Amino acid sequence: MTNTKSNNHPFLAACRREKTPYTPVWLMRQAGRYMKEYRELRARHGFLELCKNSDLAAEITVTPVERLGVDAAILFADILLLLEPLGVGLEYAKGDGPVIHQPVRSGKDVDGLKDFDPEKELSFVYDAVKKTCQALKNKVPLIGFAGAPFTLASYLIEGGGSRHYIHTKKLYYAAPQAWHRLMELLAALTAKYLNCQIAAGAQAVQIFDSWAGCLTPVDYEQFVLPHTRATIAGLTPGVPVIHFSTGTGGFLKLLRAAGGDVIGVDWRVHLDEAWERLGHDVAIQGNLDPGALLASPRDIRRRVEEILRRAGGRPGHIFNLGHGVLPETPVENVIAMVEAVHELSAR
Amino acid sequence: MTNTKSNNHPFLAACRREKTPYTPVWLMRQAGRYMKEYRELRARHGFLELCKNSDLAAEITVTPVERLGVDAAILFADILLLLEPLGVGLEYAKGDGPVIHQPVRSGKDVDGLKDFDPEKELSFVYDAVKKTCQALKNKVPLIGFAGAPFTLASYLIEGGGSRHYIHTKKLYYAAPQAWHRLMELLAALTAKYLNCQIAAGAQAVQIFDSWAGCLTPVDYEQFVLPHTRATIAGLTPGVPVIHFSTGTGGFLKLLRAAGGDVIGVDWRVHLDEAWERLGHDVAIQGNLDPGALLASPRDIRRRVEEILRRAGGRPGHIFNLGHGVLPETPVENVIAMVEAVHELSAR
């Protein structure tokens, strides 16, 4: 399912809430470990090495588009790439996920961060964007992405993955001024980083606030929302912005208030109820459980049908998972899912 | 703040949505690692040993009531105790949390579980209930508890803590009949176990569905709700039931539909919005972020005030955290929180 008119791709049209011949679909982490092609490359290269090799990054980005028949490509990269030039000792430790060896835990730590120009320091990302666009030949649009300031800040503060975000919460309770300084820095860097991706050819961008679900609505409103809003407000006008988070089904309105043309929702809420709460004057992305791709193709189809039924044929729905593809997912199931979305929504 | 009339304690009155002189408050895991008295006992005894020693379990249960001034005691025990007699090799491994050495992954595994009589096998729990009631002298009510069938099932299936609940989801997708057999068994055991706690003196019970937040509303409704409902329907009439879960802010109505006199909510949703969605003909428990207890007493007080403001003085609010106290919590902060709830709600 392709469309050669640059700005008229079903994915981009859906971002603008225009009618589309079918519901466009892509998957978070569609280029990832569940895919043999990717595992083979990873066996030979480190993760950071792949990110920094723009030829390989472009190859990894394009492969799932051809293999799965999805309606958008998402750049192969990582939200933490933006943190590396801050000088905090980012390392992709084997098996344990990313680690930050000098976590930020105080105002002094915040002030010690090395400011930098994302245009200069992350040129390999923009090279990958350019090469991907060349390879895609505008068959489908390319989505650029970045972490939202909160999710980036909590990585910096916790020093890696976290369960309770204790250091993060402690910092915004105990040192709100340092917190806001950090978030302002990250918002400015993120906006600039995304604008460079856009300048290099990305036709839409997604902001991942994957960890916002650890927050109360009160704390989100006070400590996070203004900075996500500033990030989004700083982006090149006219390029659709997808604002994604998980675990935030209880305060979707605040996510909406922070901005974005499309709000991404996880699977813990019915799509129609989420859309109702968000308001129908914004597009919505989601919301299949990544775990559902472990079911049989017949069961997957039934779940796709249920989500499409709840979307009700309303323009402005982009089908996706509620979070990234799980590494255990059979690629055949992903293909069955994409086919089911296209077929059932075209009826 | 105590009340000597047995059935007229503010906590029990709030469960029935009757007016109370102030908002009752207790904390999940109020007897836990954040408390010096508990850490001292744990240094000398294994976790299971403490659970099975009814004198020590009663002591641990009573200590925080005296120390914190809360309006209810919750039995010191663990939701996994009910799984041990099933013969799955439960072990509380040091540092790593509980492990189940023979996880349940198929219909055959389900059929191989050893059925048992919770009245006989878990008599140490009821002894602890009795001894606690004697020690409490009805100063505050005692809450008994158990895991909800889903949370128990996912422990059994995953074999411990989990991030994506892959085996659990695979089982209900691939073998729904085995899944329902397992859930029926757990529902029957749980109801009997709680009824024994009630017979021994527990004046209310809480059902923990701590992991239900990994589910879609569709899967919750199909695979979980009927079994939680059966559990609750099987309980001794007249005893208040608190139905607690986390991460379910997107489908609170389904939690409500499964039953319970009080619905426990986490901190990811405003209390007034959650109550509105649940309906005001049910009581509500919550919803302070456990992380908020790492803030200063002044900040804690402000957050208590905000929650009480959202409760609006409506009868039927029990103040609590949205999940268990974090081990890093200063006990002084917990005391400040309890005092703030009592003082601000009595105005």
Percent helix, strand, coil in chain B, to 5, is 55, 10, 35
pTM of the model: 0.96
Helix (H, G, I), strand (E, B) or coil at B71: coil
Helix (H, G, I), strand (E, B) or coil at B84: helix
Instruction: Report the residue of A209, A216, A272 to disrupt the B interface, i.e. the one with the largest count of B CBs within 10 Å.
Output: A216
pLDDT (mean) for A7-29: 96
**Residue pLDDT, tens place only, A195-227:** 999 999 999 999 999 999 999 999 999 999 999
pLDDT (mean) for A216-241: 98
Q: What is the CA radius of gyration of chain B?
A: 19
Contacts of A169 in chain B (CB under 8 A): 289, 291-292, 294-295
CA–centroid distance for B329 within its chain: 19
Show Cβ contacts of residue B70 under 8 Å, excluding neighbours closer than 6 positions. Answer: B25, B26, B27, B30, B64, B140, B338
The count of other CB atoms within 10 Å of the CB of residue A308 is 19
Write down the pLDDT at residue A295.
97
pLDDT-derived band at A6 (thresholds 50, 70, 90) equals low
What are phi and psi for residue B283, nearest 5 degrees? -80, 165
Helix (H, G, I), strand (E, B) or coil at B251: coil
| Chain mean pLDDT for chain B | 96
Question: Which letter, b or e, does each residue of B218-232 get, where b requires 16 or more Cβ atoms within 10 Å of its Cβ?
Answer: bbbeebbbbbbbbbb
**Residue pLDDT, tens place only, A88-111:** 999 998 777 899 999 999 999 999
Please state, for a pLDDT cut of 90, what percent of chain A lies above it.
Answer: 95
pLDDT (mean) for A74-97: 92
Task: Residue A108: name the closest of A184, A190, A182 by CA.
Answer: A182
From B266, which residue of chain A is nearest by alpha-carbon distance? Answer: A216
> Of B22, B34, B38, B155, which one is the catalytic site residue?
B155
Cβ <8 Å between A247 and B269: no
B104 pLDDT higher than 60: yes
Q: What is the CA radius of gyration of chain A?
A: 19
pLDDT (mean) for B31-59: 96
Interface of B with A in 285-314 (CB under 8 A): 289-292, 294-296, 299, 303, 306
What are phi and psi for residue B306, nearest 5 degrees? -65, -45
pLDDT (mean) for A279-297: 98
pLDDT-derived band at A2 (thresholds 50, 70, 90) equals very low
**Residue pLDDT, tens place only, B248-294:** 999 999 999 999 999 999 999 999 999 999 999 999 999 999 999 99
Write down the pLDDT at residue A7.
76
Pairing, β A142-147 against β A204-209: parallel
Query: What distance in Å separates the CA atoms of residue A73 and residue A65, rounded to the nearest whole number?
Result: 6
pLDDT-derived band at B211 (thresholds 50, 70, 90) equals very high
Question: Which letter, b or e, does each residue of A247-266 get, where b requires 16 or more Cβ atoms within 10 Å of its Cβ?
Answer: bbbbbbebbbebbbbbbbbb
pLDDT-derived band at B304 (thresholds 50, 70, 90) equals very high
- The upper half-sphere exposure of residue B137, i.e. CA atoms within 13 Å in the direction of its Cβ, equals 3
From A216, which residue of chain B is nearest by alpha-carbon distance? Answer: B268
B172 pLDDT higher than 60: yes
Contacts of A275 in chain B (CB under 8 A): none
B201 pLDDT higher than 80: yes
> Of A34, A126, A155, A172, which one is the catalytic site residue?
A155
Task: Residue A275: name the closest of A287, A288, A266, A284 by CA.
Answer: A284
Helix (H, G, I), strand (E, B) or coil at B292: helix
pLDDT (mean) for A239-255: 97
The CA-based diameter of chain B, rounded to the nearest angstrom, is 59
Write down the pLDDT at residue A8.
85
Cβ proximity of A245 and A212 under 8 Å: yes
Kindly state the tokens that stand for B327.
């081990």
Cβ proximity of A249 and A274 under 8 Å: yes
pLDDT (mean) for B198-204: 98
* Ramachandran quadrant class, B318 (left: phi over 0; alpha: psi -120 to 50; beta: rest): beta
pLDDT-derived band at A16 (thresholds 50, 70, 90) equals very high
A4 pLDDT higher than 90: no
Helix (H, G, I), strand (E, B) or coil at B86: helix
pLDDT (mean) for B14-21: 98
From B220, which residue of chain A is nearest by alpha-carbon distance? Answer: A268
Query: What distance in Å separates the CA atoms of residue A150 and residue B279, rounded to the nearest whole number?
Result: 33
Q: A287: cis peptide before it, omega within 30°? A: yes
* Ramachandran quadrant class, A201 (left: phi over 0; alpha: psi -120 to 50; beta: rest): left
| Chain mean pLDDT for chain A | 96
Task: Residue A246: name the closest of A205, A274, A281 by CA.
Answer: A274
Interface of B with A in 255-284 (CB under 8 A): 267-270, 273-274
Cβ proximity of A140 and A110 under 8 Å: no
**B316: DSSP letter:** -
Cβ proximity of A325 and A300 under 8 Å: no
Query: What distance in Å separates the CA atoms of residue A154 and residue A104, rounded to the nearest whole number?
Result: 9
Task: Residue B181: name the closest of B109, B272, B276 by CA.
Answer: B109
Write down the pLDDT at residue B189.
98
Contacts of A165 in chain B (CB under 8 A): 291
Contacts of B215 in chain A (CB under 8 A): 268, 289
Write down the pLDDT at residue B230.
98
Write down the pLDDT at residue B97.
84
CA–centroid distance for A144 within its chain: 8
CATH class of the structural domain A6-346? alpha beta
B153 pLDDT higher than 80: yes
Domain spans, chain B? 6-346
Write down the pLDDT at residue B6.
66
A246 pLDDT higher than 70: yes
- Check if A33 is active-site: yes
State which amino acid sits at residue A189.
Answer: L
**Residue pLDDT, tens place only, A158-191:** 999 899 999 999 999 999 999 999 999 999 999 9
pLDDT (mean) for B303-325: 98
